[in-house]
A and B are shown apart, each in its own frame.
Chain A
């Protein structure tokens, strides 16, 4: 009897072990498949970048040969100095950096302050004003470019970096919306407690709200920086002097009316993308969190 019981228990244990193993194998298979899919996805994402890198060190004939030549022969490192020397890229870098950093800095201030007002201060017509504010997101930039151009001309800022800094530094409907939604989610009790302790509106914003906005501020800052760095149309319209040109404007000079110097464009693009790459490497934690957050809010 005892032996039978032991055998039955052993059999059950064996079956359970088998099931456990099967589960383990299935788990490994699922994880493996998932990783395979992710690797394929990552490969698809990284191919354009690799293609850009490879093309930047090839000759024109190699760049478009069929089948594609994945290992350049010879390596055309000369494309880099040629691209860099063809145009004043160092100035363009400086200009793009000044614009992107200044706009990002001021936009974070103006957006967070406006967002706080829209989220927490009640005043007549607040919601109507906010929706009107949001409605400006629907207006294509091409429609507002002439009034902005005329304004910049009237105040004497045409062909200066300020013409590109001032409008976005003062106003961003997207930024205000993003910040307001986040502030709305913060518990009101925090501010009530601060009022009980004698804090005024400015102290509440500066000491309580702003520190809690770190994550959305980082996300907005990164989006703004990338947007400003890559902007082509506004600098094209506002700037005339090559000394004021930004990186995208410089890059576009490699493209003629009919023909394009692709290898130089790619070398220039690699040079242009480096600062963004550095920003990404330094702030990837915030970028991923920011994208996840804006995705959820949207």
Chain B
């Protein structure tokens, strides 16, 4: 099998390449998925590879890390999910040394970032995608990286859109890689938005919570509530708790904070844009 090496890529200091079959439809998808992390000149430390496994039944693929088989997955779609997950894990592992890493999405406009911090399936990636569609700049939909000066460094991985939210973004429909609904991994370049350049200050800390049929609204929370909310969502909080508490407190002092109850994506985007238009952010 002829292969091609994609990359180098980097996310928060985690530099890597991905080896793929030269002639396979998944290769093109992987190249597009990780395009936002392309970093010429980086020295990769980790070599991922995804290869079909013709010796195994069905359409299975092997995922390798530095030559060692890490997983056998059932099809191309799961191979893409596994690669994305592995890159996220590597980024969080390496990025933890320098950054406080909050499980959150972030977008920016006019130099100020809106952070959407929440557990999975709260609507943060969907709201992030809704704001990107409106031209906001992209930082991340997975890990908000807070540095020692309280500024946010972009980790512009592809935006993940879960099957349940895909009907909201018909313009982003992906070619099917499997016979059942799977996540979409949408590169930031497919939105009418730029990737935020350089570090960004925070303007708002929002804690989204999707509630079907609820009225979409922003409910202010105190700065202290914001800190404990962010701490709960911080991947590496217990690695350096004092450092992280100081950074999260500094972040909350600079931002407006609110719980965002999301009944509809359209209204959530409207509420956030109203904050900007009213000069609150």
A pairs with B: no
